[in-house]
Amino acid sequence: MAAARGVILKAVKKIAVQFCPFESNARSTREFLVLVGSEKSRATNMNCEVTTEVKHDASEPVVDISFLDGDRLVMRGANLSSREMLSAFQTRCTAKDPQAKMAVRK
């Protein structure tokens, strides 16, 4: 999986994750949270704020990502796999980080 390459948070300002743990459609969102919240990922940008809001209201799982340039990416995790969420996130991060673009080319 893409986790072997690692998640780079250089271009990210804040990641807000919210889900209801009792809903079956929250699994992919929880898996995404584990990947971006890992110590190795967090070390790529110590200023990136990762917040989690656990609700008990049967709400849809949502990941709201704010980038340093003011852009936002909102992913509704109910119908996405963690792999799809990670792929969309990494694609956006790579587009915003010139050093990551060079690493991908090599």
Look at residue 105 in the predicted model and tell me its pLDDT. 57
User: Under 8 Å CB-to-CB from 97, ≥6 apart: which residues?
Assistant: 8, 10, 11
Determine the average pLDDT of the residues in 13-24.
93
pTM: 0.83
Instruction: Find the radius of gyration of the CA atoms of the chain.
Output: 13
Determine the average pLDDT of the residues in 26-38.
93
Domains of the chain by residue range = 7-105
3-state secondary structure of 54: strand
pLDDT: which is higher, 25 or 100: 25
| pLDDT tens digits, one per residue of 43-55 | 999 999 999 999 9
User: Candidates 3.40.30.10, 3.30.9.10, 3.40.50.150, 3.20.20.80; correct CATH number of 7-105?
Assistant: 3.40.30.10
